[in-house]
């Protein structure tokens, strides 16, 4: 594992590899700043592309059994649900009595993808990070690049592990909560620009609530910066 100077940002490559095989896939408690490195540059590229064609694009980062981080060379149109079925991960059912690194040949570290409009991670984006270790689709972190912001979310020591069905139920609940929050403030005089701002605020409030309830570790920074800071989630401006 690479070393970094005490007090300096921790490289995201190091954290993704470490957390993939850590207990509960949890990031270590001491991390307050993350150097996004090459993955940050990839996120910027996807963000720029999405602003031009108004589409979502995704690239997968995988962790191998021997602690390598591999980036896909293919950009797939769509969000995480579009990418995951395309992955070729070999699962070794006869090795489940061994440590997790021997369960598969590769593990999904994160699915880097953009939001073409200024929105934080959605309930759907969060679904894979909550999946139990035994699910081949489980991810170590969420990485979203919107037009103005990069957001990275890791699991904590107390983040629950859910089955695919449980995760889907939770996502539906979170979507409903967000919609209820929107319905309480939207009226017939709300224009599209104001609606987008309210939607952003509702999703931001949901992320912060879930981070407190489920021990999620949220990091963020402006899109052209590359050091993500803990609890630094994009704050919409009403100016």
72, exposed or middle or buried, with CB in 10 Å at 0-12, 13-18, 19+?
Answer: middle
pTM of the model: 0.90
| pLDDT value for 1 | 46
Residue 199 tokens read as 């939607």
- Show the domain range for 209: 10-230
Residue 30 lies in a domain: yes
pLDDT in tens, 22-65: 999 999 999 999 999 999 999 999 999 999 999 999 999 999 99
Residue 2 lies in a domain: no
How many domains does one find in the chain? 1
| pLDDT value for 185 | 87
| pLDDT value for 85 | 47
Residue 123 lies in a domain: yes
Q: Are strands 10-11 and 76-77 parallel, antiparallel or unpaired?
A: unpaired
pLDDT in tens, 186-215: 888 888 888 888 888 999 999 999 999 999
Residue 208 lies in a domain: yes
Between 46-55, 168-177, 179-188, the lowest mean confidence (pLDDT) is in 179-188
Strand partners, 64: 106
Of 72 and 222, which is predicted with more confidence?
222
Whole-number Cα distances in Å, 188 to 12, 120, 182: 44, 25, 13
pLDDT classification of 155: cutoffs 50, 70, 90: very high
Residue 115 lies in a domain: yes
pLDDT above 60: residue 6 = no
Phi, psi torsion values for 52, nearest 5 degrees: -80, -45
**Rounded Cα gap, residues 116 and 32, in angstroms:** 27
pLDDT in tens, 212-234: 999 999 999 999 999 999 999 87
Residue 4 lies in a domain: no
Q: What is the DSSP string of 47-64?
A: HHHHHHH---EEEEEEEE
Residue 5 lies in a domain: no
Residue 107 lies in a domain: yes
């Amino acid at each position: 594992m690479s070393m970094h100077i005490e007090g300096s940002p921790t490289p995201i490559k190091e954290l993704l590899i470490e957390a993939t095989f850590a207990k509960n896939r949890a990031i270590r408690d001491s991390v307050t700043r993350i150097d996004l490195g090459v993955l940050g540059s990839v996120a910027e590229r996807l963000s720029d592309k999405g602003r031009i064609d108004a589409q979502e694009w995704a690239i997968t980062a995988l962790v191998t059994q021997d602690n390598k981080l591999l980036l896909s060379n293919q950009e797939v149109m769509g969000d995480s649900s579009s990418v995951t079925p395309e992955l070729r991960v070999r699962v070794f059912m006869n090795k489940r009595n061994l440590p997790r690194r021997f369960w598969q040949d590769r593990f999904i570290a994160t699915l880097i993808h953009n939001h073409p409009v200024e929105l934080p991670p959605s309930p759907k984006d969060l679904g894979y990070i909550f999946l139990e270790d035994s699910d081949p689709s489980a991810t170590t972190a969420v990485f979203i690049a919107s037009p103005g912001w990069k957001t990275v979310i890791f699991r904590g020591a107390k983040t629950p592990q859910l089955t695919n069905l449980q995760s889907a139920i939770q996502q539906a609940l979170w979507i409903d909560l967000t919609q209820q929050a929107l319905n309480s403030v939207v009226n017939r005089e709300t224009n599209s620009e104001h609606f987008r701002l309210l939607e952003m605020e509702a999703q931001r409030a949901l992320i912060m609530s879930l981070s407190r309830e489920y021990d999620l570790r949220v990091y963020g920074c402006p899109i052209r910066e590359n050091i993500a800071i803990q609890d630094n989630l994009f704050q919409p401006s009403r100016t």
